[in-house]
Amino acid sequence: MSSIRLLFSRAAAAAPRRAVVWCQPHRVQLASTQRLYATSIDNGMTPSQQANEHMRQGIDEMSRGNLAQALNSFSHSLALNPTADGHYNNGVCLYSLGNVDEALDHWEKALSIDPSQADAHVNAGNVYFMNKKDADSAIRHLKKAIELSPKDAEIQFNLACIYEATSQLEWAIKMYDSAARLGLEKAKTYMRNAVAKQMKKSI
């Protein structure tokens, strides 16, 4: 369903909480990192420090819309220190460049390193549904994301949309209601529509 939105919001390594860099058509979020080094990457740095600096440069480039340069920086970061956040941000960049399969692969790798990344579950789930037409995998990922981030109304809304699209109206209504209770206004309209569909179906 077109109402489902991708959530790109994973922090970079050793970063403060997230800051929005893009808004439409996808809400893309990456955490800004602390500026570790003011100069170009120095050979005197440890591999981990170099990886963090490449990550910071990638986030800076992506915030300016320089996707090819961002991908190059993220790839260098991964080569030096393959972290969950590195795979996550590489996936964000690849998806933005239209490489859906590679993006999904990086999000799955991020989750293999750190299964607690709710945002990676959200992105993987939404791609499984919208691009792969695999509702079961999408539902599995979004349910896990809700376990990890139970106060995120948008994730519950996305899961409700998938339930509605797969004619699981009872579950859709429950999830729309939950999203609405968390303050997502549009969920109320979708819930009313799903209730109407269910009533029509039962006649």
Looking at residue 41, its pLDDT comes to 58
Pick the last residue of a domain from 104, 138, 172.
Answer: 138
If asked whether residues 89 and 159 sit together in one domain, one would say no
DSSP reduced 3-state for 45: coil
Give the total number of structural domains in the chain: 2
- The domain that contains 59 carries what CATH number? 1.25.40.10
End-to-end alpha carbon distance in the chain: 25
If asked whether residues 16 and 92 sit together in one domain, one would say yes
Strands 27-31 and 18-22: antiparallel
What value does the mean pLDDT take over residues 169-197? Answer: 97
Question: Among 14-28, 66-80, 117-131, whose mean pLDDT is lowest?
Answer: 14-28
Residues 103 and 124: their CA atoms lie apart, in Å, by: 9
Let me know if residue 1 belongs to a domain: no
If asked whether residues 121 and 201 sit together in one domain, one would say no
The residues, ordered by sequence, that sit 6+ positions from 95 with a Cβ below 8 Å of its Cβ are 6, 8, 103, 123, 127
If asked whether residues 169 and 122 sit together in one domain, one would say no
User: What pLDDT digit, counting tens, does each position of 30-42 carry?
Assistant: 433 332 333 355 6
Pick the last residue of a domain from 83, 103, 138.
Answer: 138
34, 16 in Cβ contact below 8 A? yes
Mean pLDDT (the chain, rounded): 82
User: What pLDDT digit, counting tens, does each position of 21-76 carry?
Assistant: 222 223 334 433 332 333 355 668 898 999 999 999 999 998 899 999 999 999 99
Query: Structure pTM?
Result: 0.80
- 77 CB neighbour count, 10 Å cutoff: 27
Q: Is the pLDDT of residue 10 over 90?
A: no
Range of the domain at 59: 7-138
